A and B are shown apart, each in its own frame.
Chain A
Amino acid sequence: MPAVDLQMEALERSASRRRTFYRWLLFLILGVFAIYYLAPMYVMIVTSFKSMEEIRKGNLMMLPKEFLLDAWKIAWGGRGYDAGDVFLRPFFWNSTKMVVPAVVISTFLGAINGYILTKWRFKGDNIIFLLFLFGCFIPYQAILLPMARTLGALGISNSITGLVLVHSVYGLSFTTLFFRNYYVSIPDEMIKAARIDGAGFFKIFFKVLLPISAPIIVVTVIWQFTNIWNDFLFGSSFSFGEAAPIQVALNNMVLTSTSVKQYNVDMAAAFIAGFPTLVVYILAGKYFIRGLTAGSVKG
Chain B
Amino acid sequence: MFSWLQKNLPKVVLTPSFAVILWFIYGFILWTIYVSLTKSKMLPRYDFWGFKQYIRLWSNMRWYTAVENLLIFTILFVLICILIGILLSILLDQKIRAEGFLRTVYLYPMALSFIVTGTAWKWVLNPTLGIQKLFRDWGFSEFTFDWLVNRDMSIYTIVIAAVWQSSGFVMALFLAGLRSIDDEIIKAAKIDGASLSSIYVTIILPMMRPVFMSSIVILLHISIKSYDLVIALTAGGPGTSSDMPAVFMTQMAFHRSEIGLASSSAVMMFLTVLAIIVPYLYSELRRQDASR
Contact = CB atoms under 8 A, between A and B. Distances in A.
Nearest to B248: A141
Given A138-B29, A141-B265, A143-B29, A40 B120 contact: yes
Given A34-B105, A37-B168, A43-B120, A278 B270 contact: no
Interface residues of A, number: 89
B21 A135 contact: yes
Taking chain A's interface residues, is the majority helix, strand, or loop, or is none over half, making it mixed?
A: helix
A116 B117 CA distance: 39
Contacts of B54: none
A116 B17 CA distance: 12
A141 to B, nearest CB: 4
B153 interface: no
Interface in B223-275: 224-225, 227-228, 231-232, 235, 245-246, 249-250, 253-254, 259, 262-263, 265-267, 269-270, 273
B130 A131 contact: no
B116 to A, nearest CB: 4
Contacts of A233: 227-228, 246, 250
Contact of A250 (B10, B88, B110, B115): B115
Nearest to A173: B21
B235 to A, nearest CB: 7
A288 B113 contact: no
A97 B84 CA distance: 38
Contact of A147 (B28, B113, B269): B28
Name which of A116, A146, A229, A233 has the most chain B CB atoms within 10 A of its CB.
Answer: A146
Interface stretch (B45-53, B89-97, B201-209): B89-97
Contacts of B164: 36-37, 40
B129 to A, nearest CB: 7
Interface string A166-206: 00011011001000000000000000000000001100000
Contacts of A297: 173, 214
Interface stretch (B72-80, B131-139, B186-194): B131-139
A132 B21 contact: yes
Contacts of A112: 13-14, 17
A232 B227 contact: yes
A295 B22 CA distance: 21
B106 A143 contact: no
A120 B116 CA distance: 43
Given A116-B10, A137-B273, A139-B246, A250 B31 contact: no
Contacts of B21: 131-132, 135, 169, 172-173
Interface of B: 6, 9-11, 13-14, 17-18, 20-22, 24-29, 31-32, 35, 44, 84, 87-88, 91-92, 94, 96, 102, 104-117, 119-124, 126, 129-131, 133-134, 137, 164, 168-169, 172-173, 176, 214, 218, 221, 224-225, 227-228, 231-232, 235, 245-246, 249-250, 253-254, 259, 262-263, 265-267, 269-270, 273, 277, 281, 284, 288
